[in-house]
Amino acid sequence: MVPGMGMAARDFDTQGLTAAVDQRRGPIAIATVDPGLDAYLDGSIETRLLDGIAEAQDAAGANRIWLVGVSLGCQAILRCIRVRPGLAEGVILLTPYLASTGLMAEVSRTGGLRRWSASNAGRHEPERALLIWLATTPPTELPRILVGHALDDRFATTATMLADLLPAAQVISVPGGHDWASWRALWRLILEQNPFERPAPVAP
């Protein structure tokens, strides 16, 4: 679990998100990794977060990984998956912040991520590169992505644009804003879907 800006890793405990997982069946080990705000600024976010994930995986002896991010933590998670395909089986993004409001407004004016990415091919700025990757990577090459967003969240545009790339069943919304009340409500709804269970095998 990766916190957003202004949050601490312990907030997942104090706000009840880890307890909500502990109450469910199954051997699920929970780890929180906080790469620090400076990692986004100095370009070390992928290295720091990947190191933290590897340490947590080794400590738990886990052979399956799901990553959960809140706000800016969602950007960190997806940037790691971009450079390390196959890192996680699934990803849960709670009210994701993936790029500046100015850049998201630009995407919106262009008509969505897919149309915008066509005119931005070859751009390498971190946020632009992330959005281009999301828009152009075939779904079969991505982990399962679940998005939870609050209808009055100030970054709701980001979730709406992600929803255009995903099946409707993988997007959940609740009333509310960019706060823990919304994240707790979204987390409860997502856990009700039993996201960490392996999908049933398809009969031949």
Mean pLDDT value across residues 133-154: 94
Candidate from 90-94, 118-122, 137-141, 157-161 with smallest mean pLDDT: 118-122
CA torsion sign for 186, 189, 193, 194 is positive
| Confidence bin at 23 (pLDDT 50/70/90) | confident
Could you state, in order of their start, the residue ranges of all structural domains in the chain? 11-192
d(CA 77, CA 67): 7
More confident residue, 26 or 142: 142
pLDDT at 31 over 70: yes
CB 47 within 8 A of CB 15: no
pLDDT at 173 over 90: yes
Written as one string, the DSSP assignment of 7-44 is --TTHHHHTTHHHHHHTSSS----------HHHHHHT-
CATH-assigned architecture of domain 11-192 = 3-Layer(aba) Sandwich (3.40)
Which residues have a Cβ under 8 Å from the Cβ of 56 and sit 6 or more positions away? 31, 33, 62
Mean pLDDT over 114-134 rounds to 91
Bridge partner residues of 93 (DSSP): 69, 147
- Read off the pLDDT band of 25 (50, 70, 90): low
Q: What is the helix, strand, coil percentage profile of the chain, to 5?
A: 50, 10, 40
